[in-house]
């Protein structure tokens, strides 16, 4: 891996029949046509059905037999509408023109999900799959991408040592992922200056990563229908309950390098102003990555650990990653929270952790606006009436448990995150894991984290009336705690100290 300039492909809108937007400035197609202004790209002929295309971009033969959809895309601009074959669905900016796309979904399936119009620099490519679904891909220089990621993940007004740490971490995650992708696609350098060689795709790997398990950072949702989850089955006796223990390994996207949501790294184009501080952080750390054992670190991160970070193996596949092991997120040491008693005491307490921040002025300085809507990330509580919880579990897991009897944590990691949870009802008894699956099952969107204790409140007759979950932290808890790291920077810690704290044993290297 060298420090050459790298162009990456970001999938910004995925799986739509129609994508609307606007070219602000001039964009050129491979055939040399110049486009500007609003556009709509759609997979089917617009209705009423358009006459067979009769322009130079028309497919050979001038029209298609009834019932057969062309593999390209229909383009509607202010002045006309026509068909573009796949090779023409690529738009390159002239003079740093930008484009915007409407209704880009962010925070997919999480409590902060919303749609935004977003603006991007770089090129736009639209691809259509066999089901007629369109994907809009933004081609952008990696360092510009990183500046946007940091501005999208955190507020640009966050302290600069934190922004620098984030730049190194995001670059490391990206390069480690691209290296792996190159390796798995048979070697060769897919990423080269000025263009990205893309053949027929790299095939489907497994594992999406969810939650932002992005990079396993957390925050994002599993990409719908992508990838297979890893699975672990504990061998048990005949009477043992059914086990559904899966993790969402990172799905390396087949059609592009990274998506724009929390699944990979949050990227909102140039919609969020890239501040001079972010630009400085990216420039000051250009080419710098975290390495361990001679390899670039797969540096993961999440919003708030809750006081202690988690081991990699408790969230993804069960292998040890030395630089992704649990650390106490504070000036002193905190106990490991693997027992119920320790977890309950911990969650009920307010330890002096770096991410234990209730100061709204501070949070405004470090978090993007929509993350400020989640003020209770350090300690939180949700409750559901028993019947409500039964309906929720049925909807999210597809399993009818009957009347719920208990939710019992069987194994916790050092951060208190539950790795295996037993759910017992009058009809079924199931063990669910790992943390993302637990979070998904027990919430209409996702729980903030799987570090929670369960209080089953009884009614007068001794039956369960209500389940109260009291928890700690936001996200999977592995690697760097974004809020804790920003707090460390405010306290005067350097980028090196922050990265050293969250990624034990990793070293900084310029490539």
The contact set with Zn ion (CB under 5 A) reads 259, 263-264, 305, 329, 355, 481, 484
Angstrom distance (rounded) from CA 253 to CA 214: 12
Q: What are phi and psi of 75, to 5 degrees?
A: -115, 125
Taking the least distance from each CB to Zn ion, the nearer of 270 and 355 is: 355
Taking the least distance from each CB to Zn ion, the nearer of 420 and 439 is: 439
Q: How far is the CB of 482 from Zn ion (least distance, A)?
A: 8
Taking the least distance from each CB to Zn ion, the nearer of 108 and 296 is: 108
Taking the least distance from each CB to Zn ion, the nearer of 93 and 220 is: 220
Query: How many Cα atoms are found within 13 Å in the side-chain-facing hemisphere of 213?
Result: 32
Angstrom distance (rounded) from CA 411 to CA 249: 20
Secondary structure (3-state) at 73 = strand
Q: How far is the CB of 290 from Zn ion (least distance, A)?
A: 18
Taking the least distance from each CB to Zn ion, the nearer of 171 and 386 is: 171
Q: How far is the CB of 110 from Zn ion (least distance, A)?
A: 14
Q: How far is the CB of 207 from Zn ion (least distance, A)?
A: 11
The answer to whether 503 touches 482, Cβ cutoff 8 Å, is no
Taking the least distance from each CB to Zn ion, the nearer of 127 and 420 is: 127
The answer to whether 165 touches 480, Cβ cutoff 8 Å, is yes
DSSP state of 190: -
The answer to whether 221 touches 34, Cβ cutoff 8 Å, is no
The CA angle 410-446-450, to the nearest 5 degrees, is: 25
Angstrom distance (rounded) from CA 451 to CA 487: 21
Taking the least distance from each CB to Zn ion, the nearer of 229 and 355 is: 355
**Short-list 286, 258, 354, CA closest to 143:** 286
For β-strands 288-292 and 295-296, DSSP reports them as: antiparallel
For β-strands 429-433 and 242-247, DSSP reports them as: parallel
Q: How far is the CB of 261 from Zn ion (least distance, A)?
A: 7
Q: Please write down the HEC assignment for all residues of 426-483.
A: CCCEEEEECHHHHHHHCCCCCCCCCCEEEEEEECCCCCEEEEEEEEECECCCECEEHH
The answer to whether 399 touches 428, Cβ cutoff 8 Å, is yes
Q: How far is CA 176 from CA 276, 384, 451, 496, in A?
A: 27, 41, 28, 20
Q: How far is the CB of 396 from Zn ion (least distance, A)?
A: 22
Q: How far is the CB of 163 from Zn ion (least distance, A)?
A: 18
Q: How far is the CB of 167 from Zn ion (least distance, A)?
A: 19
Q: How far is the CB of 346 from Zn ion (least distance, A)?
A: 13
Q: How far is the CB of 263 from Zn ion (least distance, A)?
A: 4
Q: Please write down the HEC assignment for all residues of 271-309.
A: CCCCCHHHHHHHHHCCCEEEEECCEECCCCEECECCCEC
Taking the least distance from each CB to Zn ion, the nearer of 147 and 305 is: 305
User: Any bridge partners for residue 258, and if so which?
Assistant: 10
Taking the least distance from each CB to Zn ion, the nearer of 264 and 498 is: 264
């Amino acid at each position: 891996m060298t420090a050459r300039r790298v162009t990456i492909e970001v999938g910004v809108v995925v799986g739509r029949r129609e994508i609307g937007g606007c070219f602000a400035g001039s964009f050129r197609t491979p055939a040399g046509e110049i486009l500007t202004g609003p556009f709509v790209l759609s997979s089917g002929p617009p209705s009423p059905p358009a006459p067979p295309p009769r322009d130079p971009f028309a497919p050979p033969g001038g029209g298609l037999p009834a019932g057969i959809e062309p593999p390209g895309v229909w383009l509607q601009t202010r002045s006309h509408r026509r068909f573009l074959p796949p090779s023409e669905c690529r738009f390159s900016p002239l003079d740093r023109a930008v484009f915007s796309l409407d209704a880009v979904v962010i925070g997919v399936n999480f409590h902060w999900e919303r749609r935004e119009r977003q603006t991007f620099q770089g090129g736009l490519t639209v691809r259509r799959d066999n089901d007629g679904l369109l994907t809009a891909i933004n081609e952008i220089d990696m360092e510009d991408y990183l500046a946007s990621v940091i501005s999208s993940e955190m507020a640009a007004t966050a302290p600069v040592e934190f922004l620098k740490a984030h730049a190194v971490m995001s670059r490391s995650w990206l390069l480690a992922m691209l290296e792996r992708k190159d390796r798995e696609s048979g070697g060769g350098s897919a990423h080269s200056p000025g263009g990205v060689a893309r053949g027929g795709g790299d095939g489907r790997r497994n594992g999406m990563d969810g939650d932002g398990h992005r990079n396993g950072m957390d925050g994002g949702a599993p990409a719908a229908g992508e990838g297979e989850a890893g699975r672990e089955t504990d061998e048990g006796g005949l009477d043992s309950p059914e086990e559904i223990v899966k993790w969402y390994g990172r799905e390396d996207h087949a059609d592009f390098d990274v998506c724009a949501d929390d699944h990979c790294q949050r990227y909102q184009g140039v919609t969020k102003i890239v501040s001079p501080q972010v630009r400085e952080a990216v420039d000051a750390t250009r080419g710098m990555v975290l390495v361990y054992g001679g390899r670039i670190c797969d540096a993961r991160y999440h919003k708030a650990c809750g006081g202690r970070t988690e081991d990699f193996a408790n969230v993804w596949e069960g292998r040890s990653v030395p630089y992704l092991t649990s650390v106490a997120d504070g000036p002193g040491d905190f106990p490991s929270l693997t027992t119920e008693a320790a977890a309950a005491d911990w969650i009920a307490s307010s330890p002096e952790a770096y991410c234990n921040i209730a100061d709204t002025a501070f949070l405004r300085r470090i978090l993007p606006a929509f993350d400020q809507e989640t003020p209770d990330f350090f300690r939180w509580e949700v409750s559901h009436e028993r019947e409500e919880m039964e309906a929720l579990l049925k909807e999210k897991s597809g399993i009818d448990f009957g009347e719920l009897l208990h939710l019992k944590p069987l194994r916790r990691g050092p951060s208190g995150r539950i790795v295996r949870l037993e759910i017992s009802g009058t009809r079924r008894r199931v063990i669910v894991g790992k943390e993302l699956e637990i979070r998904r099952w027990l919430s209409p969107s996702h729980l903030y984290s799987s570090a929670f204790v369960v209080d089953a409140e009884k009614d007068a007759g001794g039956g369960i009336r209500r389940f109260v979950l009291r928890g700690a932290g936001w996200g999977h808890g592995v690697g760097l705690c974004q809020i804790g790291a920003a707090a460390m920077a405010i306290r005067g810690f350097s980028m090196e100290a922050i990265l050293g704290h969250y990624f034990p044993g990793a070293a900084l290297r310029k490539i």
